[in-house]
């Protein structure tokens, strides 16, 4: 859970920016969206496999860049 302590001299806008950044960093919104929709088991599996392929392609691309 994102928790931001507002300092005495800090403006509300600054604290709100810090809170939003913390929420993004902890990917809270992503989790909420993920749990707000029901996916069939087969659909979940296909999404998971697609993510794995995407990670593998990214990893191979990085290795290729470092090879030169």
What is residue 49's predicted lDDT score, i.e. its pLDDT? 97
Distance CA 34, CA 43 (A): 13
Which band of pLDDT confidence, cut at 50, 70 and 90, is reported for residue 66?
confident
Distance CA 53, CA 61 (A): 12
pLDDT digits (tens, 9 = 90+) for 33-63: 888 999 999 999 999 999 999 999 999 998 8
What is residue 68's predicted lDDT score, i.e. its pLDDT? 63
Q: Please say whether the beta carbons of 39 and 47 come within 8 A.
A: yes
Helix axis angle for 28-36 and 12-25, nearest 10°, is 60
Predicted structure pTM score: 0.51
- Mean pLDDT over the full length of the chain: 91
What is residue 31's predicted lDDT score, i.e. its pLDDT? 87
Q: Report domain extents, the chain.
A: 1-37, 39-68
Token pair 């960093």 is at which residue? 25
């Amino acid at each position: 859970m994102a928790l931001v302590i507002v300092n005495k001299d800090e403006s509300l806008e600054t604290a709100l920016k810090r809170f939003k950044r913390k929420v993004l960093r902890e990917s809270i919104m992503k989790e909420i969206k993920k749990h707000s929709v029901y996916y069939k088991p087969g659909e979940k599996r296909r999404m998971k496999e697609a993510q794995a392929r995407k990670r593998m392609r990214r990893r191979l691309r990085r290795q290729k860049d470092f090879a030169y």
